[in-house]
Amino acid sequence: MRATPLHWNEGSGWNGAPQDGADLVVYFGAREGLRSGVRYRELRDMFPAAHILGCSTGGQIRDADVSDDEIAGLALKFAATNIKLVCKEVSDPAQSRASGEAIGRALMADGLAGIFVLSDGLRVHGGHLVAGITSVVGHEIPLTGGLAGDGANFTETMVSADCTPRTGIVGAVGFYGDAIRIGHGSAGGWDVFGPRRRVTRSRGNVVLELDGQPALDLYERYLDASEVQGLPGAALRFPLQIQDPQRPAHEVIRTVLAVDRDERSLTFAGDVPEGWMARLMRGNFDHLAAGAGDAARQAYAGLPDQMQGDEISLVVSCVGRRLLMGQHITDELDAIDEVRPGTRLGFFSYGEIAPHAASGRCELHNQMMTVTSIREAAA
Amino acid sequence: MHKLVAKQLARAKKASGSVDLDALITLVSAAYDEVDSDRRRNERSMALMIEEVDQLNRGLEQLVDERTAELRSVRTVLEAAINNMSQGLLMFDAEARLVICNRRYLDMYALSPDRVKPGCTLRELLALRHDTGFFNEDIDEYISTLVAAMRQGSDCTRLVELPDGRTIAILNHPMPGGGWVATHEDITERRRAEIKIAHMARHDGLTDLPNRMWLRERLGHALSAVHSGERLAVLYLDLDHFKSVNDTLGHPIGDELLKAVAGRLRRCVRETDVIARIGGDEFAIVRTSLQDSREASALAQRLCEVIRAPYDIDGHAVIVDTSVGISISPNDGVDPNELLKNADMALYGAKTDGRGTHRFFEAEMDARMKARRILELSLRGALERGEFHLNYQPLLHLGRNRVSCCEALLRWRHPERGMVSPAEFIPVAEETGLTSARRLGAAQGVRRRGRVAGRHQGGGQSLPDPADEPELAARGDECPCGVTPSLASAGARNHRSGAAAKHRPHAHHAASVAGARRADRDGRFRHRVLVLELSAPFSLRQDQDRPRLHRRPPGRP
């Protein structure tokens, strides 16, 4: 496998295009940078035979750097690996699961070694999408990826899957063959604080009461006045740990996607049934960076040592972590670099997709750092 | 250089390589703002957390206070309940250390609450009980047995007799976690009551002799020895004419007589014999390891003699006799019921043979009894079916040459057997209480025919009205046939032997009975006939088949 980093900026345009083309081009950029479709068409011109997959973000990751105005990409040329790209348009979030199932069916074939999926971050129910795919391919096939971002705006997200970037798109690429190995890792690094609270009233993914009190009232106690005004974006700094009492070891982190000031409710990225426990979380720069290092260790631990070859890592981190850490966000990438220096591409997302570190079940995460390591055996 | 500063410098570097100071300052300033914001968030969250923890702490303290008060209240109630239990209660932990001990336990074994406290070991507790005299077992063995049972999860129960006579039931019940709970219940009164009830169930309340049930049980046990070659006798006895004692002197005297008889019986038997009151005036004695039938006979004779001796019951001189039936195992049976039945049959034989004696069971007795039962059943239906009739035999007064009286002779024509001898059916009728029926049925015939006879005699004396016959029946009950002297001398219809008996000392009555019995034994008077007197005295004469009344010739006694 040959991996060629690509990047584009206003001043110098595209840099780093390989001469011998590519099988797969992955690219990430700010929504405004992708919206016109010009960048996609330029890539298509450069790589007419390649599958092209990309999305809008809350910031692009290229090796150990983070940028907002550049477009970062990677052109991959495989030696012995086949790939297949599927693009599904989801016009209604309620179709999320069905779309996932369709993608699963389209990609499910002998030799499927892993799937990397990018989805619209606002118009697709990420949890249902993942459930749809895994219902077909199972949890043994590594499924990683993320939901497209839009900075801290939460206005519009776009995905490009052999098409110009647009909303409501889910693109997924499947990797086939014995030569390729895909590892994965996910970690948070968030610290819980405050008492454990019971979800006493909820409706799907909308939590109305915690411990019998209006959920938003309780949540706002932890924010200062400017942060309260900044909801729901400010809520990225204070995710919630959600736990099913029946599965105490299976904790997930959820970000508040929206608030209803009249109903005093919080809307999360996934369902939060009544009776579940919820606990507020806060970030510590060092702990979050350490979490990123944990994710990298998991991802590389999944690759066989005896199989030598080129490798890259695709990094998907939550935009909330970036908002919280500010310029310290590069500490995350430094932590990954300390675990495994190398070619790295990624973005800050509205949701991360990876197997759960404890259960191994592929799920949608919030506020997590996920690392997908890809290695192809040397030809 | 801090790596963040290095990155800020790199980002602020222009294409020319120089640093854009404004951009750098902006980055540095933003970094400070971010750190400040983070610090404020952390401080705020820490403050909130402290506030919440404090709030929770206060809530918990309040909860602890409330729960403590509740627990105190519950404990007070629990202690009151435990200390007012009728049982002694102990609870031990897995190390056999006392957790709970109630007041009742301390009182039960006279222990001091100062020495029996939670934490003391079972060994110490048992040693204290030993000191107060309420534990005299081997302490080590006791503990080892108890602890082993508790570890196996089995209940351990004991019944302890204390030196002061109390009986304590102890139950040790294992609990989860290795401890156990022990209850000590004073069941002295309950045991006494149980023993009393068991005694009452097996003994006769009047004489305190074993009753029929207990006799049967004991007989069953005794018979197991018979299987190994021994012999055993059952003596079944009842008091002759005991009913008349009750009727004439009253039941309290009758009861006292039974007690006195029981006392005499006790003195007649060996310690290994079983003596029981079967019911009413019936008693039974079981003699085990019998040498031979003579031994049983000797015992029966002895019983008759001892019982026959006069009694003084509340100033009444009472003489009563007894009849004894004997069955011997294995010859007469190896089953308690069979032996008792056969002894009863032998008793009947003794009664039939004149009372005041004993008889051994004979196989023919059984056949006779069956025939008698068939006869009795037929006799009961005979009255309804009109199978009785009377034959009159006029007696001619030779001196006057006229009929002086009639014999009314009762006859029974059985539909299958034909004429049944009075010698056969009259005793059965008398013994089964059918006398009255016979008398009435016959008397109806007498009345009808008497009137005819009267008319035939042309205005002579009429026959007596059978409605005035009860005294005859009463007399018959008391005196099977030996009533001749009084009947003959009285001569009048208004003779009231029953009424007369009420005024006679009972000893005289008993003598009269004995006289009658002797007459029976002599075989002189076997049957009774209905005699219709006219006016003159009669002499009594017996022929081969039935007794007949003849007018006594003048001048002869």
Which chain B residue has its CA at the smallest distance from A329's CA? B4
Pair type for strands A24-29 and A51-56: parallel
Pair type for strands B180-186 and B88-92: antiparallel
Interval A10-38: pLDDT, tens: 888 999 878 788 999 999 999 999 999 99
Does A224 reach chain B within 8 Å, measured CB to CB? yes
Q: Tell me the average pLDDT of chain B.
A: 78
Residues 290-349 of chain A whose Cβ lies under 8 A from any Cβ of chain B: 324-328, 330, 334
Q: How far apart are CA A302 and CA B415, in angstroms?
A: 117
**Structure ipTM:** 0.78
Interval A179-209: pLDDT, tens: 999 999 999 999 887 888 999 999 988 999 9
Q: Please state, for a pLDDT cut of 90, what percent of chain B lies above it.
A: 47
Residue keyed to tokens 């196996």: B152
Give contacts of B7 with chain A, Cβ < 8 Å: 327, 330
- Which pTM does this prediction carry? 0.53
Check pLDDT > 90 for residue A4.
yes
Q: How far apart are CA B319 and CA B327, in angstroms?
A: 27
Q: How far apart are CA A325 and CA A38, in angstroms?
A: 32
Residues 172-201 of chain A whose Cβ lies under 8 A from any Cβ of chain B: 193-195
Chain B nearest C-alpha distance from A74 (Å): 22
Q: How far apart are CA B323 and CA B533, in angstroms?
A: 35
Average pLDDT, stretch B89-95? 94
Give contacts of B27 with chain A, Cβ < 8 Å: 327
The reply to whether residue A324 touches residue B38, judged by beta carbons under 8 angstroms, is yes
The reply to whether residue B44 touches residue A194, judged by beta carbons under 8 angstroms, is no
Q: What is the pLDDT of residue B441?
A: 52
Does residue B176 have a cis bond before it (omega within 30 degrees)?
no
Chain A nearest C-alpha distance from B49 (Å): 5
The reply to whether residue A326 touches residue B30, judged by beta carbons under 8 angstroms, is yes
The reply to whether residue B41 touches residue A282, judged by beta carbons under 8 angstroms, is yes
Give contacts of B16 with chain A, Cβ < 8 Å: none
Give contacts of B52 with chain A, Cβ < 8 Å: 194-195
Interval A210-264: pLDDT, tens: 999 999 998 888 888 888 888 887 888 888 898 888 887 778 888 888 899 999 9
Q: What is the 3-state secondary structure (H, E, C) of B504-528?
A: CCHHHHHHHHHHHHHHHHHCCCCCC
Give contacts of A334 with chain B, Cβ < 8 Å: 3
Of the pLDDT bands very low, low, confident and very high (cuts 50, 70, 90), residue B155 is very high
Give contacts of A324 with chain B, Cβ < 8 Å: 38
Dmax (CA) of chain B: 192
Q: What is the pLDDT of residue A18?
A: 81
For the ranges A238-252, B64-78, B133-147, the lowest mean pLDDT is seen at A238-252
The reply to whether residue B49 touches residue A193, judged by beta carbons under 8 angstroms, is yes
Chain B nearest C-alpha distance from A12 (Å): 11
Interval A97-123: pLDDT, tens: 999 999 999 999 999 999 999 999 999
Give contacts of B48 with chain A, Cβ < 8 Å: 194, 221-222
The reply to whether residue B38 touches residue A285, judged by beta carbons under 8 angstroms, is yes
The reply to whether residue B44 touches residue A224, judged by beta carbons under 8 angstroms, is yes
Task: Provide the b/e sequence for A206-244 (b: ≥16 CB within 10 Å).
Answer: bbbbbeeebbbebbbbbbeeebbebbebbbbbbbbbbbe
Interface test with A, best of B8, B41, B44 (most A CBs within 10 A): B41
Average pLDDT, stretch B489-510? 32
The reply to whether residue A285 touches residue B7, judged by beta carbons under 8 angstroms, is no
Interface test with A, best of B29, B49, B60 (most A CBs within 10 A): B49
Other beta carbons within 10 Å of B182: 21
Give contacts of B38 with chain A, Cβ < 8 Å: 285, 324
Which chain A residue has its CA at the smallest distance from B47's CA? A222
